Each structure stands twice: as structure tokens, then as C-alpha cells.
Amino acid sequence: MKQGCLGSLFHYERLRFMEIQKINIRGVYFANVTMDEAAAYVEERLLRGETTAIYTPNPEIVQMCIENEAFYETVNSAELIVPDGIGVVKASKILKTPLKQKVAGVELGERVLDIAARNGKGVYLFGGKDASRTESGIGVADQCIPVFEKKFPGIIVSGTRDGYCKKDGEENEETIRLINESGAEILFVCLGAPLQEKWIHENRSKLPNVKVYLGLGGSLDVYSGNVKRAPKLFIKLGLEWFYRLLCEPKRIGRMMKLPKFYFGTWIYKLKKK
């Protein structure tokens, strides 16, 4: 056997025995992983045919769980939960159960796209504005296709569905039918929290072909180029949330959950003593 093949075999054997430590941050069980470890875990399970739902809670989503305890069950049902927000990592340090690092959902999504391209796995994109709501007259999910084809040679986008269809009744059954007929094994569900997590939780049993589900909020807007991520300096300083607020002042109501979560974590810690 060639050395390269041996290397791949050893890498795969290592992945097979990868165990993910879970850390409880305010009731949400986050995987204590780096970006590389998260991507490797997803690829391992995909190649073994094991179903994996991936949620990427930030402080706002954890606060949703705190304020609506029924949402805990939905979020914690995922096989992989990663901290998409420096606030969650800071909270883990406050609670003396530190997570390794922030794992940005938009970046993990790109890693999964690379995995899909390398392994010939079809991807279905569900979310974003439809053609009637964009300046170009092309739906956001469809705008992602040429971007993906250029960045991930060999990528197979099996189908798209905008996020403005109804999530119940006949329209939802139509969505399920389209995804099943596409044969896609990877499904991006970009509807925003908590809708995307609830949709995956309620519908995954109806999608036998899908092995990887990702709840990725507004990621399709970023991938398509309609929304720009924060400059690297903001990301490095943990101020990506602040950049988004500067760009979208109307988010101020949602952003108020950030200090509520942060100071609430200190109070939570003191009460546990």
C-alpha cells in the first residue's frame, strides 16, 4: 500500500474513535471542539452514514432557551452543537468549564461544503429570499451556486428552496418532497433561530437520504455576497456582533440579549456557589 493511502487510513482510523466532550453552558450542551475537530467529526459520521444535526448557538440563542425552556429539548437534540459567538466562549470561562474556541457557523458551513465536494455528496440549500425579493431577480440560494462551484470544484448543489414558503401544511410537504427527490445527503437550513432548529427537529425523520443537517441562519446571504462578514480585526477582537449592529441598527432589540446573557451568567455562577 502506498504511503499516502496508509496516511489516509490512519487518519480515518483516528476519526473513527473520536469522542466529543460536551460542556453544559447554561443548559445547552456544547461540543468542546476546534474548527478542525468539528469538521473531521462531521466528515467521519457522513462517511459512515450516520445522521448528524449541527446547531450553532450564539448567546442570543442560548438566552432564547433560558427564556423558553421548551427550546432546550430542540437545541440539545442535535448531535453537534458548536459555539457560534465569542460570548458563549467567555461564558464557558466564567463557569470554569472553558470551551476550546469559537466555531463560527458560516465557516463550518464552508468546511462542510468542501467535504461535500471532495466526497461527491449532494447539497440542498433551503432558505434565503426568493427571486421576487432580490434586486437581481435570482433567489439568494440560487445566487450561491456559481460561488460554490468556483470555490469548491466538483460541488453538487442538488436543489434549492427559498425560505419564504410555509413551514407547515401542503407547502412544507412540498419542501420535503423536493429535498427527498434531489437525493441530497447534506441539507443547509437557513431560516434563522429558532425556526430552523425547530424545522430540523420536526422534519428530519421524513428525510431518509439526508445525513447532515446544518442550521445556519443568514449564511446564504453571506455566501452569495449579499451580506459581508465583519473585517478580520473585528472578528479577532470578538466584536463581530458590534459590526453587525453598526451595519443593521434595527438589530438593537435582539442585541440586548447579549448583555442579559453575559451578566446573567455571572449571577448564575454566584447562585451555584
Question: Tens-digit pLDDT profile for the chain (273 aa)?
Answer: 344 444 444 444 444 556 899 999 999 999 999 999 999 999 999 999 999 999 999 999 999 999 999 999 999 999 999 999 899 999 999 999 999 999 999 999 999 999 999 999 999 999 999 999 999 999 999 999 999 999 999 999 999 999 999 999 999 999 999 999 999 999 999 999 999 999 999 999 999 999 999 999 999 999 999 998 878 888 777 777 777 777 777 766 666 778 899 999 999 999 876
Model pLDDT, residue 5: 47
Peptide bond preceding 249: is omega within 30 degrees of 0, i.e. cis?
no
What is residue 18's predicted lDDT score, i.e. its pLDDT? 66
- Give the pLDDT of residue 238: 76
Cell of 183: 437525493
Strands 28-31 and 22-25: antiparallel
- Where in the chain are the domains? 20-272
Cα-Cα-Cα-Cα torsion 69, 104, 42, 77, nearest 10 degrees, comes to 0
Residue 87 · residue 255 · CB < 8 Å: no
CA distance linking residue 248 with residue 78, whole number of Å: 30
Q: Which residues make beta-bridge pairs with 125?
A: 160, 188
The whole-number pLDDT of residue 251 equals 67
Q: What is the pLDDT of residue 271?
A: 84
What is the per-residue pLDDT for 15?
A: 47
* 123 and 113 Cβ atoms separated by less than 8 Å: yes
What are the contacts of 193-201 at 24+ separation with CB within 8 A? 193/57, 193/60, 193/61, 193/64, 193/217, 194/61, 194/64, 194/71, 194/74, 195/167, 196/127, 197/55, 197/71, 197/74, 197/75, 197/78, 198/74, 199/167, 200/53, 200/78, 201/53, 201/74, 201/77
Report how far residue 214's alpha carbon sits from residue 211's, in angstroms, rounded to the nearest whole number. 10
**pLDDT of res. 24:** 97
